[in-house]
Amino acid sequence: MIGKAALAATMAVVLGTAAAGQQAPAVSPEFEAQSRIPDTPGSGPYPAMMEVDPALPDHLIYRPADLAAVGHGKLGVFIWGNGACAADGASARLHLSEIASHGYLAIAPGKWRNGPNAKEPPAPPGAPAPDGSFQPPTTAADLKEALDWALAEDSREGSRYAGLIDENAVAVGGFSCGGVQALQLAGDPRLKTVVVQNSGIFNDDAVRIAGMELKKSALQALHTPVIYIQGGPSDIAYANGMDDFARINHVPAAMVNLLGKGHGGTYFEPNGGKAAQIVVDWLEWQLRGDTEAARSFLGEDCGLCGDPDVRIETKNLR
C-alpha cells in the first residue's frame, strides 16, 4: 500500500491546491523551466510536428510532418493519458514527439499548454464535485474519443489520414493518473498493447484519489502484452506498479525500472530520454514485429539487461 507521505505527494500532483475558477493555477518553477524547452521533432525517421485538429479540438496531435513518407497503411496509433489526468496535451510533448517520429499518430487529451509554442495558459486543477471532492480534468473517455477518432479517420473521405492508419498497430499508454486511464481502456479489443508509466493501481483498501479509483480486478481486462516503466523505489507509484506486475500472469508483461529517476521520469530529457526509447522499442516489437527492437527485452543478455541504470523483469515474453 502506498504510504501516507507518498499519498500526499500524489494528491498534490493529481489534484492541485485550489478549485478551478477560484484563481489562476500557480505555475511552478519546474513547469516554467519545462515550458522553455523547444518543441523537438524526435530522433526517428519521420520528423514529427504538433497540431490541433479542428475536428478534435480538445486534444493535441503528434504526427510525422510528412505523412506520405510513412506509407499506405503504416501509421501506428498511440493514445496517451497525461500525468495528473491534466488537461494539458503538451505535458509530455518531447516524449510523444519522439514516439510520433517513428511513424505513429500520438494523441493526448487537453489543450496545448506547455512549451514556447503553447496556445493556452497552464491548466487549472480539477473542478469541484457536489461533495467537495475534485474531479480529474480528463478521463478515460477522452482517451477513447481520441482512439475512436483516429481509427475513423482512416476511412473518412478527405481525411489526411485516409488509408494511412494501421489498425493492427494500436496502443494506449499514460503517465501516473494517465496510466490508470490507460488501464481503464485495457479491455478494448482494438488495442494490441498497453504502456503504463510511473503508475499503478492503488490497493483496494487504500485511500482513493480522483481519477485513480480503478480496482486491482481491472488488471484482468488486459488481453494484450503490457509494459510498466517505473522510476525505481523513489517513484511514488513504484509500490503500486510493482504490485500490479506481480498480479499479472495471464498476458505477457515487462517491468522496467529506470533507477533513480523517480516519479518525474525522463519526459523532458532530450527526445523524451531513455523511457521514450524503451517505449519506441516496445511498440516496434509488439505492433510491428521488429525482432531487433525485441532484443531490448528478450534473453539474459537483452539490451536493457546490460544497462546498470535499469532493472528489468519479464513474464511470458516470447
pLDDT tens for 196-249 read 999 999 998 876 666 678 999 999 999 999 999 999 999 999 999 999 999 999
Q: Is the pLDDT reported for residue 139 higher than 90? A: yes
Confidence of residue 132 (pLDDT cuts 50, 70, 90): low
pLDDT at residue number 135: 82
The string of pLDDT tens digits covering residues 62-79 is 999 999 999 999 999 999
SS3 breakdown of the chain: % helix, strand, coil, rounded to 5? 30, 20, 50
C-alpha to C-alpha distances, 187 to 90, 164, 191, nearest whole angstrom:
26, 25, 8
Cα separation of 149 and 69, whole Å?
22
Q: Give the pLDDT mean for 120-137.
A: 73
Q: Give the pLDDT mean for 10-30.
A: 49
pLDDT at residue number 125: 64
The number of beta carbons lying within 10 Å of the beta carbon of residue 167 is: 14
The number of beta carbons lying within 10 Å of the beta carbon of residue 73 is: 13
Q: Record the pTM.
A: 0.91
pLDDT at residue number 95: 98
Confidence of residue 27 (pLDDT cuts 50, 70, 90): confident
Confidence of residue 2 (pLDDT cuts 50, 70, 90): very low
Q: Give the pLDDT mean for 148-172.
A: 98
Cα separation of 22 and 95, whole Å?
32
Out of 26-35, 160-169, 237-246, 256-265, pick the least confident. 26-35
The cell for 187 is 479491455
Q: Is the pLDDT reported for residue 6 higher than 50? A: no
Q: In the β-sheet with 75-81, what is the strand arrangement from edge to edge?
A: 48-51, 59-64, 104-109, 75-81, 165-175, 193-197, 226-230, 253-258, 310-315
The residue type found at 10 is: T
Average pLDDT of the chain is: 90
Q: What is the Cβ-side half-sphere exposure of residue 255, based on CA atoms within 13 angstroms?
A: 22
The number of beta carbons lying within 10 Å of the beta carbon of residue 72 is: 11
Cα separation of 31 and 288, whole Å?
35
Confidence of residue 123 (pLDDT cuts 50, 70, 90): confident
298 within 8 A of 317, measured Cβ to Cβ: yes
Cα separation of 77 and 275, whole Å?
18
Closest CA to 197 of 81, 37, 48, 285: 81
Cα separation of 194 and 225, whole Å?
7
State the sign of the Cα–Cα–Cα–Cα dihedral 155, 159, 164, 168: negative
The cell for 288 is 510491428
Out of 9-13, 46-50, 248-252, 253-257, pick the least confident. 9-13
Closest CA to 71 of 285, 283, 288, 272: 288
Domains with residue ranges and CATH for the chain: 32-119+136-315 (3.40.50.1820)
Cα separation of 113 and 138, whole Å?
14
The pairing of beta strand 165-175 with beta strand 193-197: parallel
Instruction: Categorise residue 53: left if φ over 0, alpha if ψ from -120 to 50, beta otherwise.
Output: beta
The cell for 252 is 505477457
Cα separation of 273 and 282, whole Å?
15
Question: What phi and psi values does residue 178 have, to the nearest 5 degrees?
Answer: -65, -30
List the beta bridge partners of residue 172: 79, 194
pLDDT at residue number 130: 65
The string of pLDDT tens digits covering residues 272-298 is 999 999 999 999 999 999 999 999 999
Question: What phi and psi values does residue 117 have, to the nearest 5 degrees?
Answer: -105, 15
Residue matched to cell numbers 519546474: 30
Q: Is the pLDDT reported for residue 257 higher than 90? A: yes
Q: Which percentage of the chain shows pLDDT scores above 90? A: 83
